[in-house]
Amino acid sequence: MNLDSQSLLYYHWDCVTTSKGPLYCSSLNFGLGSSGPVLGIPGSELQADVEYTFRLTVRKEGIAPESTTQTVSTHAHTDRP
């Protein structure tokens, strides 16, 4: 297999919505950026008790883009005795 002939994959993450409305998406800082295969967001950016829905779109030259969503729920930290 000739690796030089392989086209690259391109990734793009979006915050689609949250359980408290789409405005919570606009304030997020994608710590690792939004164009890699892994999405990293500092915990300080996320609000407690909010469900976030993210969309990952993957593109490759000559092929139609494909997307999937991932939902993440956050919870307030409680100390346990």
| Residues 8-53: tens digit of each pLDDT | 999 999 999 999 998 888 888 887 788 989 988 888 888 999 999 9
Predicted TM-score of the model (pTM): 0.80
Output the six-digit token pair for 79.
Answer: 């100390």
Q: Which residues contact 26 (CB under 8 A, 6 or more apart)?
A: 15
Q: Which residues contact 77 (CB under 8 A, 6 or more apart)?
A: 48
Q: Are 74 and 47 in contact (CB under 8 A)?
A: yes
Distance CA(51)–CA(49), nearest Å, equals: 7
Rounded to the nearest angstrom, the gap between the alpha carbon of residue 10 and the centroid of all alpha carbons in its chain is 14
